[in-house]
C-alpha cells in the first residue's frame, strides 16, 4: 500500500499567505521529497470525494494553512486523515517582520525565500515521519 505522507495546503485563494501555503507544499512534495510524499486537493476533501477520502483516511498527513481559520487542518482531520503536523504560514511570516511577500497571484523575492523556508520545514517533517 502507498504510505506516502499526504501534504495538504489550504486553498487560500485571494491571499498571499494562501499562495505561499500552496507553493511551499508544491516545492516540498515535488522538489524536496518526491519519493516520500504526495499532495491531495483540499477541494476534493471538502466535497467528500470518495477516492480522495480513501487516499487520506488513516494516513499520516501534514497540513499547511495560510490563516488562523485552519481550513486544511480541520477538513483533513474531519475526513479521517491523521494530522501529524499543522504548519501555519503565519508562524514563519512573523519571523520576517516588515518584509513584503507579493500579491495573491505572484510572490516577490522575499515571498519566494520565505516560501522555501516553509517548504524546508515541511520536508523536515516528512523525513521525520518516514
> Per CB under 6 A, which region of 14-22, 31-39, 104-112, 117-125 contacts ligand SF4?
14-22
Instruction: Quote the CA–CA distance of 13 and 3 in Å, as a whole number.
Output: 29
Q: Which of 84, 20, 14, 78 is nearest to 46 (CA)?
A: 78
Nearer to ligand SF4 (CB atom), residue 36 or residue 102: 102
Does position 12 bind ligand SF4 by CB under 6 A?
A: yes
Grid cell of 77 as nine digits:
482531520
Nearest approach, Cβ of residue 86 and ligand SF4 (Å): 11
Residue 6 near residue 61, CB atoms below 8 Å? yes
Binding mask 60-99 for ligand SF4 (x = CB under 6 A): -----xxx-xxx----------------------------
Strand order across the beta sheet in which 37-39 lies: 37-39, 5-9, 60-65, 82-88
List residues near ligand SF4 by CB under 6 A.
10-12, 15, 17-18, 65-67, 69-71
Amino acid at each position: 500500500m502507498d504510505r506516502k505522507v499526504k501534504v495538504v495546503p489550504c486553498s487560500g485563494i485571494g491571499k498571499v499567505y494562501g499562495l505561499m501555503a500552496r507553493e511551499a507544499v508544491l516545492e516540498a512534495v515535488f522538489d524536496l521529497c518526491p519519493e516520500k510524499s504526495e499532495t491531495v486537493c483540499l477541494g476534493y476533501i471538502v466535497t467528500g470525494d470518495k477516492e480522495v477520502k480513501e487516499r487520506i483516511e488513516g494516513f499520516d498527513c501534514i497540513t499547511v494553512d495560510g490563516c488562523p481559520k485552519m481550513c486544511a487542518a480541520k477538513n483533513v482531520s474531519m475526513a479521517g486523515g491523521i494530522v501529524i503536523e499543522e504548519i501555519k504560514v503565519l508562524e514563519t511570516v512573523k519571523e520576517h517582520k516588515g518584509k513584503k511577500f507579493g500579491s495573491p497571484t505572484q510572490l516577490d523575492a522575499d515571498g519566494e525565500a520565505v516560501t522555501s523556508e516553509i517548504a524546508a520545514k515541511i520536508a523536515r517533517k516528512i523525513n521525520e515521519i518516514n
